[in-house]
Structures are given as structure tokens and as C-alpha cells.
Amino acid sequence: MSRHLNYREALREALREALTVDPRVFLMGEDVGRYGGTYAVTKGLLDEFGPERVRDTPLSELGFTGAGIGAALGGLRPVVEVMTVNFSLLALDQIVNTAALYHYMSGGQFSVPLVIRMATGAGRQVGAQHSHSFEGWYAGLPGIKVLAPATIEDARHMLAPALADPDPVLIFEHTVLYNLEGELADDCTVDICSAKVRRPGGDASIITYGGSLQKSLQAAEILAGEGISAEVVDLRVLRPLDDATIMASVAKCRRAVVVDEGWRSVSIAAEVMARIVEQVFYELDAPVSRVCTEEVPMPYARHMEDAALPQAGKIVAAVKGLFA
């Protein structure tokens, strides 16, 4: 059995479930309560669970993220929402200098079971200060896990294992996905350690995540019409990367394109390519290629924003380029 719902509703169900089953769980962030969440993810939860557990905060990203770390150390299971990844830079110190390293630095004495959710990505013409994809920066940090749910299933089911994890987990929700609709099977379970093949194929691997998954699937469809069978791999977990799934796909297809909405320099794409070269270089029939965001601050005008971002057409061209 399955049912139809959207990504936002799936996230909300996951939060509602977490609040219901575990009294230690509470939500905290700017406008998560009365306003209903910037992207309406937490809408209705204040009425259901009250202001102690759906906690509106001042505009203090550093303060409330740090308070989330403290509450986690104190035995609670906070889910902190940061409006967008851009604003998370104001909380960077607490994430990088405290959450990520407390377990190690304390010689294993303290763990920080904290979940931080935030919106990321471009595509809605909200300009350069609201559109960037910094998840790749976070994915470079030892001590945390980084998730990028790109499907209804992951939106619904990644939160529970993230909360069960004893260490900090960051969840990046691409803003164009909130209205994504789909079917959710009643009996599905997900993990937070593996990449998944979203469309099997045999001629080329398209390795992607988050907001670029739909574009990659479109590209695979177009390529199929032209006789190229592309396999689409959804990374899902940006740290730690699931090398086994990536390498199995690349070794099978012998050609690979990495699609990443981050800027290309020092990106997730760069990391995945480096690992492919390290691990399956001799399986390759062509150099690894990538499609990333152009290295500009995100422009506002629609056509310019489109031009800056990875698109299905660019992915198709990159895959074809591997057969040139």
C-alpha cells in the first residue's frame, strides 16, 4: 500500500512522529511555531505540542544552535531549524568548533545528539544571499553526518535515524523540493549510511543528490530516448560518502558524471571525482566529468539563474561528451 503526499508533508509527519514518540524531542528555531515555519514545514505543530516543544527563538542563529548543543548534552533531543543554509553561517562556530568535535576532544566522554535542519539551494529567484548550497562545506567536517533527502521517502524517514544517532546530524532540504509530490510506500524503511540507485542503467553513471536528483532523472530519460542507458545514483548521505555504491555503479557503467549544485571548486563533486580516480581509475573508459553551479554569486533574473545552475540539458551534454 502507498499514499500520495508532498515533501513538506512528509517532513512534517516525521517531526510529528518524533515529538510523539520521544518526550526528549523538541523543535527550536526562528518562526517554527506561531508563523508555522518559513517553508511551512512545522505548521500546526505548535498547537499540537505547545510552545515548550515547538519553540520560537529570537534571531540568534549562533545562540540557539549553541543552545541546541547544550540541550543535547543535557539529555534532550533537539531538532534545530535554521531558516536557510546562508544564515547557518552565523552559527558556524557552534557547529564547527563545538558540536563536531566535543566527542573527540573530551576523550569520548560527551556526545552531542543534535539534529539541525536547514533549507538550501537555488531556483526560486531569491538572489545571492538566499540561494547558495553550502552543504559541501559541512560535508568536510569530521564528527558530523550530513544528509540530503531528495525523495518523499527520505523526507519522511531520515529524521528518525538522525535522531537515534548519538552525534550531530545536519539535514539539508532543497527549497524546490518542498512541493515535490509522490507516492510513499507504507512499509518503507531508510538508513542514513547509504547511497541509492534511483534509476538503473548500464552506460553511464550520473551521481547526484538533493535538488539535482530530479534534473538528473530528467536527463536520464532524455538520454534513454537517444539510446544511452544512464544510471542515476542519489548520494543521500554527503558525509560519510557511500563509496561502495558509487564505485559499483561507476565500475559497471565505466563512465561517470557528477552533478552538484554547489560551486565546482572544492565541492562535493570534486570529492566524489577524486574518490573515483583513487578507487576505480582503471575501470574508466573516459575521464570523469561534472556539472556544477557556475562560479558566480547567484543572479536574480530567471534566465541568468537558470544559466548558472545545473540543468537537465547540461547533464545530457556532459554524458554525451563521455562518448565523444
Compute the least distance from the CB of residue 25 to other proteins, in Å.
Answer: 10
Alpha-carbon 108 to chain mean position: 28
Under the binding rule (CB under 8 A), the answer on residue 94 touching other proteins is yes
Cell 556532459 identifies what position? 318
| Residue-wise DSSP of 17-71 | HHHHH-TTEEEEETTSSTT--TTSTTTTHHHHH-TTTEEE--S-HHHHHHHHHHH
* Residue (52 or 187) nearer to other proteins, CB: 52
Active site residue 61: yes
Under the binding rule (CB under 8 A), the answer on residue 72 touching other proteins is yes
Under the binding rule (CB under 8 A), the answer on residue 249 touching other proteins is no
* Residue (75 or 227) nearer to other proteins, CB: 75
Alpha-carbon 49 to chain mean position: 27
Compute the least distance from the CB of residue 147 to other proteins, in Å.
Answer: 15
What residues from 12 to 51 belong to the interface with other proteins (CB under 8 A)?
23-24, 26
| CA angle centred on 4, ends 23 and 210, rounded to 5° | 75
Compute the least distance from the CB of residue 233 to other proteins, in Å.
Answer: 24
Choose, by CB under 8 A, the member of 33, 37, 78, 299 that binds other proteins. 78
Choose, by CB under 8 A, the member of 7, 49, 64, 172 that binds other proteins. 64
Cell 538533493 identifies what position? 210
Say how many CA atoms lie within 13 Å of 192 toward its Cβ.
25
Cα–Cα distance, 114 to 143 (Å, whole number): 12
3-state secondary structure (DSSP) of residue 231: strand
Sheet hosting strand 256-263, strand order edge to edge: 196-199, 230-234, 204-208, 256-263, 289-293
Active site residue 132: no
Compute the least distance from the CB of residue 236 to other proteins, in Å.
Answer: 18
Determine which one of 30, 130, 153, 305 is catalytic. 130
Under the binding rule (CB under 8 A), the answer on residue 167 touching other proteins is yes
What residues from 103 to 162 belong to the interface with other proteins (CB under 8 A)?
103-113, 142-143
Under the binding rule (CB under 8 A), the answer on residue 209 touching other proteins is no
- How many residues bind to other proteins according to rule CB under 8 A? 43
Under the binding rule (CB under 8 A), the answer on residue 93 touching other proteins is yes
| Percent of the chain as helix, strand, coil, to the nearest 5 | 40, 20, 40
Active site members: 61, 130
Residues that bind other proteins (CB under 8 A): 23-24, 26, 52, 57-58, 60, 62-76, 78, 93-94, 97-98, 102-113, 142-143, 166-167
